[in-house]
Amino acid sequence: MSNPLTSYFGVSAVAMPLRDQRMKLIASNLANADTPNYKARDIAFDDVLRQAAGTAAPLQTTDARHMSGLNLQPQLFERTPLQPSLDGNTVDPDIERAAYGRAALEYRASLSFVESKTRTLMTAITGE
């Protein structure tokens, strides 16, 4: 059974946790920019979002009144560096910073959308 709130919030309900996970992964890449043999990783965000948007995998609930959610296990891939380093590290700080900036902007856009939908829902409930 589909969750009406997930339907109401649309793809943003799926995108926000994925965007958060991606930002943490990119931050980890940046933190390990000088670690020998560290491989920069990322999430194929568009593929995971496309897959998750239409399928809600039920989580285990302890009460029938609990809402079901999505169990997202995105596949990670290693980034191929434009210019490999001699120590085997594949982090390009410029690419990572740009990716983080874009991911943060996309997260904020999703958050703004959810906030707007929440305000609309609260107005409908309270009538104010």
User: Tokens 């900036």, residue?
Assistant: 101
pTM of the predicted structure, to 2 decimals = 0.73
**pLDDT tens string 98-123:** 999 999 999 999 899 989 988 998 89
Name the most confidently modeled range: 61-65, 74-78, 94-98.
94-98
